[in-house]
Amino acid sequence: MVFTSRFGSVLAFAAIALAVPGAAQTDRGGYAIDPAGDLSAMLDCLEAEGKTLISAHRGGPSAGLPENGIETMDAILAGVPAIMEVDVAQSTDGVLYLMHDRTIDRTTTGSGKTSELAWDAIKGLNLVDEAGWMTPYTVPTLEAALDWAKGKTVLQIDFKRTASFEDTIALIRAKQMADSVILIAYSQAQAAKLHKLAPEMLVSYSISKPGDLDAIVAAGVPAERIVAFTGTRTARPDLYAALDEADVEVIFGTLGRPDRSIDGVIARFGTSERYAELGEGGVDILATDRGREAAAALAQAGRLPEAGACGVSLGQ
C-alpha cells in the first residue's frame, strides 16, 4: 500500500500481520464477537470465565491505520478479540459519520468545523494516521460501520456534540444492531435520556463509588442496563467487587495522552504484565490505545477470551 503525506511525500511499505501469542486465527485472519441477541449475557459469560475483553479506543489506530477507520478495526480483529469504541459526529445535512474532533483538520486531508460541514464536503476526504501520513481510507459513515460490525464485533458509541441521540439510535435499530452496541453517557442526565430513548441498549456510565450506581438507578436506569466506566487513573478492586455484586460489568481505561496515561507508563517501562493484573483485579473490559500489546499480556495470563465460548468465534 502507498501512504502519502499532506505535503506530497510518498511512503510505501508492506503491511505486517501482528499476531497475539495464543490467539488462533483463520485464513481470513480474524475474530468475531457476536452477542447473538443478548450483549448483557455475553458480558456476564466472559466475567464468569474470568476473561477480560479489549475495547480498542477510537478503533485501535496504528501506523498507516487511522483512528475511526473501518479498515483499522478490521486489522485489530485480525489478531485480537475486541470490541470497538468509535466517535460519532453528524453533518449539517444529517449524515452520521465517525470523527472525534470538533474539526476534521487533524484526522483528514480536509479542514473545517464538524458543526459547519455537509456530508459532500467530508465524504471524499482521506483519513490521516497519527504520524500525519495520508492513508488510502476515507471517512466512514456510521451506517457503513454498523454494516461492517454486524456479527463481527460490538461498537461503543461515543456521541460528539453534533450527533443526535435520536438519529443515532434510529439508525442502530434500522440496522438491527441494538444488541451489539454500548451507548456512552457522560452525565446522569445523558444516561437517563439514552435509556429512555433506547431501553433495550446498554449504557456506559461513569461510576467512581458504589453510591454512584444507586444514584443512576434512582434516576431510572436499571443496573442491568449499565456498564460502569471506572476511570483512567487508579485501579479500584474494592469498587470492582461491589459492582460485581450488583452484576454490573467494569470498564477501566488505560488510554489517553502517552505522557499521562497508564498505556504510556506501561510502554515506557515495558511492564505489559500490568494489563493482566488489571484483569485479575476485576476489570471486565479494558479500554486501551495499545490493544495488541494488552491482548498479548492477557493471553499470556490466560485472561484473553478464547474462540468457542461466550460469543467469541473465529472470523469467516
Q: What is the DSSP string of 157-207?
A: EEE-TT--HHHHHHHHHHTT-GGGEEEE-SSHHHHHHHHHH-TTSEEEEE-
Confidence bin at 27 (pLDDT 50/70/90): very low
Q: Indicate the angle between helix axes 237-245 and 210-218, nearest 10 degrees.
A: 40
Q: Is the pLDDT of residue 126 over 60?
A: yes
Give how many domains the chain has, as a whole number: 1
Whether 116 is covered by a domain: the verdict is no
Average pLDDT over residues 105-133: 97
Confidence bin at 12 (pLDDT 50/70/90): very low
How many of the other CB atoms lie within 10 Å of CB of 216? Answer: 24
Q: Are 204 and 243 in contact (CB under 8 A)?
A: no
pLDDT in tens, 244-291: 999 999 999 999 999 999 999 999 999 999 999 999 999 999 999 999
Whether 18 is covered by a domain: the verdict is no
Residue 32's SS3 state is strand
Q: Indicate the angle between helix axes 142-149 and 165-174, nearest 10 degrees.
A: 40
CATH label of the domain that carries residue 164: 3.20.20.190
Cell readout for 90 is 453528524
Q: What is the DSSP string of 36-59?
A: TT-HHHHHHHHHHTT--EEEEGGG
pLDDT in tens, 47-71: 999 999 999 999 999 999 999 999 9
Whether 231 is covered by a domain: the verdict is yes
**Structural domain span for residue 223:** 27-101+140-314
> Rounded mean pLDDT of the chain?
92
Average pLDDT over residues 106-126: 98
State the pLDDT at residue 7. Answer: 39
Q: Are 162 and 90 in contact (CB under 8 A)?
A: yes
Whether 146 is covered by a domain: the verdict is yes
Q: Are 249 and 213 in contact (CB under 8 A)?
A: no
State the pLDDT at residue 39. Answer: 98
CB under 8 Å to 218, separation ≥6 — which residues?
A: none
Residue 75's SS3 state is helix
CB under 8 Å to 224, separation ≥6 — which residues?
A: 40, 247
Q: What percent of the chain has pLDDT over 90?
A: 89
Confidence bin at 316 (pLDDT 50/70/90): low
Whether 126 is covered by a domain: the verdict is no
Q: Is the pLDDT of residue 21 over 80?
A: no
Whether 135 is covered by a domain: the verdict is no
Whether 41 is covered by a domain: the verdict is yes
Phi, psi of 235 (to 5 degrees): -70, 140
Whether 11 is covered by a domain: the verdict is no
